[in-house]
Structure 1
């Protein structure tokens, strides 16, 4: 059996195992983005793009689960992209506290990345972190089995920092992906995408989560090329 098939089975098994447990908490949201400085090979770095993103996140007894799907529309073409990322808690499975310093838990981390013409399977280990002022912080280390380019390694960091100014609720959250080079024709990539949002929903009702703000994308060597993307997009996000 090829390693790619093994990776796919591991990701599927993790998804099934996590899906069997009732959520401890869950969140579903829709986001609309619009920016004018996206970069694509052959299209330059001033491409207009609008994106609709559906996200689902859940905390479970034996791990956590995150998935999203993007539908992007640009003059350079339209694209659908998704990720499914289940993680299994080794602490919960073994019944042991796997805590050390800022590490709260150790997890088996998997991700399935897909689009119209490819599927990538990532597998490795993750750490749930206890970082002051954050509502969550995670770091994952993956081996990636890729469809369209050579296999590589990836590190993913995610975090969220809620804060208040004059009684108003704000949230700064982000992900950072760093991947290794795959040869002279595919450079190491770094994608740091952060969102800065104000919850205007609290003025509708105390339970409403309707955010407006911006998304800042810093993507060096996008797709492993010489292209760098630095874009600020307008954002509206609603949590159901």
Structure 2
């Protein structure tokens, strides 16, 4: 059972932040007693990712290095994506050569346990642990690239059937514009639900990122809305060393881009598909 628990923990692929830590309230004296870390490489293929140009669509491959863990008061999740490994120009999507976008994207989401920092058990009902939460998104471009930060509070919440689910409420700070602009609610989960005789298993995993309370802007090239986001539903098979999965992702005015508006008439609302093959370290 210990090996199985370690496997489930190391197979966490939450994408929006790590929710699968041992509560500081369960630790006895040594806040490093339950430290762990994990890393895996995911070969991914995306079909119809939003936003996309309706004239060309968007299909691309990418390699994702995904990592996470717990060390004392710090709970960490993150990944680095490298798009179109062969540099092929398959279409005019924004991840392809010549689009002017970055070949890289990075998400870095450290959370700091308030339970562990204060030495107090802040669990209450379904709330198991409370955090000061941060999130950073970068794409490597200066000026007009993605350079955003999120700051707020979070908790590990015991949700019926899903179990421990990470939830965070952030204020959004745009480092390019040097201004606060709205909020984001994020949640992620990892639920093993069927186990095979060889100890491999199927999991339902995914996340929600929803921005709201932002300033609308109809004067820019692509008009911005006050709210929008995305949700990911994944079905994955996991073994000790490998994983295979399919994900269905829904978008609604993602990145606050108004669907079909502006000179490019980008589609920022709709559904996309993701295929993945994983090797775990």
Tell me the TM-score normalised to structure 1 length: 0.80
* Correspondent of 1:88 among 112, 119, 135: 112
**CA distance in structure 1 between the partners assigned to 2:162 and 2:112 by the alignment:** 21
Structure 2 unaligned runs (5+)? Answer: 1-31, 85-89, 96-102, 218-222, 260-267
1:116 alignment partner in structure 2: 140
- How many residues are aligned here? 214
- On the 8 A contact 2:165/2:188 being kept in 1, the answer is yes
User: Do residues 169 (structure 1) and 180 (structure 2) align?
Assistant: no
| Displacement after TM superposition at 1:156 (Å) | 0.6
1:127 alignment partner in structure 2: 155
User: Do residues 142 (structure 1) and 170 (structure 2) align?
Assistant: yes
More helix by share: 1
- On the 8 A contact 1:39/1:46 being kept in 2, the answer is no
| Displacement after TM superposition at 1:101 (Å) | 1.0
- On the 8 A contact 2:51/2:269 being kept in 1, the answer is no
More strand by share: 1
**CA distance in structure 1 between the partners assigned to 2:209 and 2:56 by the alignment:** 20
- On the 8 A contact 2:229/2:255 being kept in 1, the answer is no
* Correspondent of 1:220 among 252, 256, 259: 252
| Displacement after TM superposition at 1:70 (Å) | 1.3
- Backbone CA RMSD of aligned residues: 2.4
Structure 1 unaligned runs (5+)? Answer: 1-20, 202-207
1:54 alignment partner in structure 2: 65
| 1:23-42 equivalence runs, <5 A | 24-42=35-53
| Displacement after TM superposition at 1:60 (Å) | 2.2
The structure whose RCO (Cα within 8 Å, separation 6+) is larger is 2
1:182 alignment partner in structure 2: 215
Q: 1:157 to 1:166 in 2, by over 3 A?
A: same
| Displacement after TM superposition at 1:173 (Å) | 1.1
1:66 alignment partner in structure 2: 77
1:238 alignment partner in structure 2: 279
**CA distance in structure 2 between the partners assigned to 1:194 and 1:50 by the alignment:** 19
* Correspondent of 1:196 among 225, 235, 238: 235
